[in-house]
Amino acid sequence: MNKKILITGGAGFIGSHLVRLFVNKYPHYTIVNLDKLTYAGNLENLKDIEGKPNYIFEKGDITNEKYILNLFVKYKFDGIIHLAAESHVDRSIENPMQFIMTNIIGTVNLLNASRKIWEEDFKNKMFYHVSTDEVYGSLGETGFFHETTPYDPQSPYSSSKASSDHFVRAYGNTYGIPYIVSNCSNNYGPNQFPEKLLPLFINNIKNNKSLPVYGDGKFTRDWLYVVDHVRAIDKIFHEGKIYETYNIGGFNEWKNIDLINLLCEKMDVALGRKKGTSVKLISYVKDRPGHDKRYAIDANKIKSELGWEPSLQFEEGLVKTIDWYLENQEWLRNITTGDYKDYYLKQYGKC
């Protein structure tokens, strides 16, 4: 079936992998990538699919209600996969309002426009909302986030994502908009903006800069290779049940400091440096305010109902990721200029 699909935030980290997958895998779909190209959006991520006949890029802002409505009237989308967001916790602590605008108001604008163009005829339509495990809050030493875990967001970022999830479900309940929400754990892989832990630390090790570990480094995250996340989104979009939630995770928990030690080992090998060189760059710094202790996803629902599971072993994914950043130094250089330097200085000082 021919479909017109809107992917929002398609020039960002996860969005660009999703756009590539859909454009290549579904030549009979038209994929419209809507992105504002904030500091995190980068069309370099999509160079390889730029001229494909089933791909259209639209530069625009989801917080602009009129623009969004016109775009929806122009294309009459069959499906929306919504990723556009402000996505970095540290930035949300600095500037919560930007997160409220993009993540909440932007999502509601998309819901209103969907309702308008679908005119209550929701057959074969889908609003797929991409969310995060951070909405569930923070775990102790044991236990997992299940799809039924009550929301308990702790940062301005996760609160704004939780709010957007609630709006999606409310529009399903109130107006009948067919939706699915998925909540995923920490992604890693190529094209991630170097404000997030792994690309930041890879870049710093390469440049012999210190590695700012927050607090005691004993915070735990569940890591998933980005291509496995977009494979899960594809599966859920096509085979998931409407009005359902799916948790996506890597079955792969790491304490930050253990992960950083492993990264340092692999970086020494990749850079041909003496064993133990990179680890000396570790520097414990002031903790992130309100830092969530542990995230761990129970991803058994998507595994048993849809047959999805991660395809990569973590060490294999980590080495692939390191290799990508080392082979794409120009990509990194192009985005670590003026604004990035200001952000870095403000966040980390001169370390």
Using CB under 6 A, pick the residue from 49, 71, 197, 226 that binds ligand DAU: 197
Contact residue for ligand NAD among 5, 7, 11, 211 (CB under 6 A)? 11
Q: What amino acid occupies position 81? A: I
Q: Report the distance separating Cα 137 and Cα 123, nearest Å.
A: 35
Residue nearest to ligand NAD according to CB distances in the complex: 12
Q: Which does 256 bind (CB under 5 to 8 A by kind): ligand DAU, ligand NAD, none?
A: ligand DAU
Binding mask 59-98 for ligand NAD (x = CB under 6 A): --xxx-------------------xxxxx-----------
Residue 80, H or E segment: strand 79-82
- The length of the chain is 351
Residue 336 interacts with ligand DAU (CB under 6 A)?
A: no
Binding of ligand NAD by 15 (CB under 6 A): yes
Residue 157 catalytic? yes
3-state SS track over 299-331 = CHHHHHHHCCCCCCCHHHHHHHHHHHHHHCHHH
133 is catalytic: yes
329 beta partners: none
DSSP SS3 for 123: coil
HSE-up of 147 (CA within 13 Å, CB side)?
Answer: 13
**Pairing state between β 220-225 and 253-255:** antiparallel
Q: Counting contacts by CB under 6 A, is residue 132 touching ligand NAD?
A: yes
Place of tokens 């370390």: 351
Strand arrangement of the beta sheet that strand 186-188 belongs to: 186-188, 220-225, 253-255
Whole-angstrom distance, CA of residue 349 vs CA of residue 282:
15
Q: What x/- string results for residues 231 through 250 when contact with ligand DAU is judged by CB under 6 A?
A: --------------------
Interaction between residue 129 and ligand DAU (CB under 6 A) = no
Instruction: Please report, as a single letter, which amino acid is at residue 244.
Output: E
Q: How many residues bind ligand DAU (CB under 6 A)?
A: 19
213 binds ligand DAU (CB under 6 A): yes
Given the residues 61, 134, 253, 292, the one annotated as active site = 134
Q: Interface with ligand NAD by CB under 6 A: which range of 168-176, 180-188, 273-281, 315-323?
A: 180-188
Task: Spot the catalytic one: 157, 179, 246, 344.
Answer: 157
In a 10 Å sphere around its CB, with 0-12 CB exposed, 13-18 middle and 19+ buried, how is residue 13 labelled? Answer: buried
By CB under 6 A, is residue 136 in contact with ligand DAU?
Answer: no
Q: Is 41 in the site for ligand NAD (CB under 6 A)?
A: yes
CB of 290 to ligand DAU, least distance (A): 11
Query: Measured in whole angstroms, how far is the alpha carbon of residue 149 from the centre of its chain?
Result: 21
Q: Which residues bind ligand NAD (CB under 6 A)?
A: 8-9, 11-15, 35-38, 40-41, 61-63, 83-87, 102, 106, 130, 132, 161, 184, 186-187, 193
> Catalytic residues, which ones?
133-134, 157
